[in-house]
Amino acid sequence: MSKRPFLFLVAALAASPAAAHVTLETKQATVGSYYKAVFAVPHGCAGSPTVKIRVQIPEGVIAVKPMPKAGWSVDVVEGKYATEYDYHGNKLSSGVKEVAWSGGKLPDKYYDEFVMQTLLTDELKPNTTLYFPVVQECETGVSRWIEIPAEEAGHSHEGKSSAPGVKLLPKP
């Protein structure tokens, strides 16, 4: 077997992280269900290590519980929801609006994941994409993964700074 295809594959893989975004591991979830949001961070900011990840929680996502991460602090910002949501028979009018992991150091050459458990409320619209804007802060520089594509743009034209998204499926 020729080594040329292997070398091409290695070169392609080595080139791809520079263009990669922060993404969600699970690309689809059902409205009205729990969703484990796993944010994959494939690189730093132009070679600089990542030192903070901030995730904005979209309206309609409640019961957010971030997973602690060894070597990192986790903080939440709470606030009012636009509406009240039913959560196991209780009415919730406020909750987690942002989650931030900080204090660690993720070198540019490594990959890591940041995780939270959420509930996707029944009020979310099936057959749409729900976006979680992310700001990645590095020792030098910041990457803002916050662009939310216009509905008419469709899914085929991701921007250079697209927010991670999950396609919402209807209840079975």
The pLDDT of residue 30:
98
> Residue 150: its pLDDT value, please?
79
Identify which of 31, 55, 59 has the alpha carbon closest to the alpha carbon of residue 170.
31
Tens-level pLDDT at each residue, the chain (172 residues) = 444 443 333 333 333 334 468 999 999 999 999 999 999 999 999 999 999 999 999 999 999 999 999 999 999 999 999 999 999 999 999 999 999 999 999 999 999 999 999 999 999 999 999 999 999 999 999 999 999 987 644 444 456 789 999 999 999 8
- Tokens for 170, please give them: 């209807």
C-alpha 138/C-alpha 160 separation (Å) is 18
pTM for the whole structure: 0.84
d(CA 102, CA 71): 9
Cβ–Cβ under 8 Å, residues 94 and 78? yes
Tokens representing 131 are: 């976006």
Contacts with 135 (C-beta within 8 Å, 6 or more apart), sequence order: 52, 53, 54, 142, 143, 144, 145, 146
- Determine the Cα–Cα distance for residues 27 and 152; give it in Å rounded to an integer: 20
Give the pLDDT score at 118: 98
